[in-house]
Structure 1
Amino acid sequence: MTRDVGPVLQDMLDTIALVDTALSGKSREDLGRDAILRLAIQRAIEIISEASRHIPDELLQHTPDIPWRAIRGIGNILRHEYHRIADDMIWTVVVRDLPALRVAVETLVSKIE
């Protein structure tokens, strides 16, 4: 069953906003010290990853600079290789990748409106 892409994109934006809120004023070290925060951020990234799988490929073509395949794949890494996840990787996703992803998803929202 295919999901309507509008709510999928909104789920991604909402989840990115939650990550921003959860990490506001926090450092990489804070993430490493707080197991609940770390798990919450990992789960948020899983949700974003899963949601990205429901975006049609033809829509993704509007944002070619985004590594959609990697975004779709990181959820599997978090689910199946959780024991090898480094806090540095999660922090990099949060500070480097999520801001660019937010802009890309906003672009996709504008394409479907």
Structure 2
Amino acid sequence: MDDSIKTWLYDILSSINEIESYFVETPKMFEIYQNDLRTKRAIERNIEIIGEAMNRILKENSTIEISNSRKIVDVRNRIIHGYDSVSDDVIWGIVVKNLPILRNEVEILLNS
């Protein structure tokens, strides 16, 4: 695997880890997330980083095995360009449903 792709995969993993770190001392509950503007913005920023890293990976190797890779980039674009229409529900769904899957896939790629 290309060193650039590995770097971007590590960036994705680092952002996922950072998002998870926000819930070490705080319960992982939607209501808490929704009422904490700093955490919301920090998570959105990390999802932007994940989306940008994924965009770079896809430009380098469009056949990489990551579920919903195009949707990840689309979410990044939505946060950046449609910031006023970002839904807390959608972001929270990504945090609880999609990031664990993405973490697993990235770890598999990095260990292969």
TM interval, shorter chain, is 0.7 to 0.9
Tell me the SS of whatever aligns to 1:98: helix
Give the conservation status (yes or no) of the 8 Å contact 1:15–1:48: yes
The residue identity in structure 2 corresponding to 1:100 is I
Q: TM-score, with normalisation over the residues of structure 2?
A: 0.87
The residue identity in structure 2 corresponding to 1:28 is F
Correspondence for 2:33 among 31, 34, 55: 31
- Sort the Cα spacing of 1:35 and 1:71 in 2 relative to 1 into closer, same or farther, 3 A: same
Give unpaired runs (5+ residues) of structure 1.
none
Give the conservation status (yes or no) of the 8 Å contact 1:52–1:68: yes
Shift of 1:110: 2.3
Residue in structure 2 matched with residue 67 of structure 1 by the alignment: 68
Residue in structure 2 matched with residue 57 of structure 1 by the alignment: 62
Give the conservation status (yes or no) of the 8 Å contact 1:15–1:44: yes
Q: TM-score, with normalisation over the residues of structure 1?
A: 0.86
- Asked which structure has the greater RCO (Cα within 8 Å, sep 6+), the reply is 1
Which aligned pairs between 1:1-113 and structure 2 lie closer than 5 A? 4-24=4-24, 25-55=27-57, 56-58=61-63, 60=64, 62-63=65-66, 66-111=67-112
CA–CA distance in structure 2, aligned partners of residues 95 and 26 of structure 1: 9
Shift of 1:106: 1.0
Write out the 4+ residue segments of structure 1 that deviate beyond 3 Å after TM superposition: none
CA RMSD of aligned residues (A): 1.6
- Deviation track 1:28-69 (CA, whole Å, cap 9, x = no partner) reads 1111111111000000100000001122213x1x34xx0111
The residue identity in structure 2 corresponding to 1:97 is N
Shift of 1:23: 2.5
The residue identity in structure 2 corresponding to 1:57 is S
